[in-house]
Amino acid sequence: MLAGRMAASAASWAGLSLARPLVMGILNVTPDSFSDGGSHAAPHAAIAAGSRLLAEGADILDIGGESTRPGAIPVTPAQEQARILPVIRALAAQGAVISADTRNAATMAAALDAGAAIINDISALTHDAAALPLVAARGCKVVLMHARGTPATMNDRAVYDDVAGDVLAELLAARDRALAGGVRAENIALDPGFGFAKRGAQNVALLRATARFVATGHPVLIGLSRKQFLGALSGEAEPAKRDPASLAAGLFALGLGAHIVRVHDVAGTVQAFHVWRILNARYDG
């Protein structure tokens, strides 16, 4: 870790107060995402869905045009941009805080130009050599997620001595590369990367270690909505029916200090988080 470069615990991020947990709504503009592929593949359908998520209380919309589920087929940056840019422009015009879920530098630049405020990169700025200098130059917020390999190979890389310790060390190494490349510490959020080169019980162990990631001082994003390991825990084979399991896991993460939870079910999550805050004496009116 770079000496003296650890972030202080942030009070806000991307213009949003962290006094309460933030809900990031998932908007996949793809034909093949694992849970909702094809539901919002057309721009008009994605824009309508994004408007609905905002009305339900989403603080951030995470818009992606490339499925990164295990075994997914990559798309070109041009295909990715054709899918997401009209959606970003329309929803940014509605006042939404937009996160662009991409690992391609050209798409990052185009998304920021279209109104995105956050880059959410599953490769932690390593997939594309131009990504780190771009994010540093733009001064935007960035989510660094832990993963190993590619969507085609990640399941073969899920070998750890200590999953939480190893993931934290690798994610902090990515954070330090970003800092060395000019990204400001206060712009960085961290995502342990559930389901990305983690299998079964590894995800459970990682979730139980959420407080270790919170201790870095960076906002911590938890993305576990409808993931396969929750299907195994709940006995629910169909991803779209795993929202109750996702909600239980998200509330568990909040109890350990997580700041942002990335979800498909925004309405249910907003309602549950509101009650959770009241019951934990964290309600601010």
pLDDT, one tens digit per residue, over 106-140 is 999 999 999 999 999 999 999 999 999 999 999 99
Residue 259, pLDDT > 70, answer yes
The answer for 81, left when phi > 0, alpha when psi is -120 to 50, beta otherwise, is alpha
Catalytically active residues are 227, 262
SS (H, E, C) the chain: CCCCCCCCCCCEECCEECCCCEEEEEEECCCCCCCCCCCCCCHHHHHHHHHHHHHHCCCEEEEECCCCCCCCCCCCHHHHHHHHHHHHHHHHHCCCCEEEECCCHHHHHHHHHHCCCEEEECCCCCCCCCHHHHHHHHCCEEEEECCCCCCCCHHHHCCCCCHHHHHHHHHHHHHHHHHHCCCCHHHEEEECCCCCCCCCHHHHHHHHCHHHHHCCCCCEEEECCCCHHHHHHHCCCCHHHCHHHHHHHHHHHHHCCCCEEEECCHHHHHHHHHHHHHHCCCCCC
- Reading the block at residue 281, the tokens are 């004496």
pTM (predicted TM-score): 0.93
**How much is the pLDDT for 31?**
76
Residue 6, pLDDT > 50, answer no
Mean pLDDT, the chain, rounded, equals 92
The CATH number, out of the four listed (3.20.20.20, 3.30.70.3280, 2.40.50.140, 3.40.190.10), of the domain defined by the range 21-279? 3.20.20.20
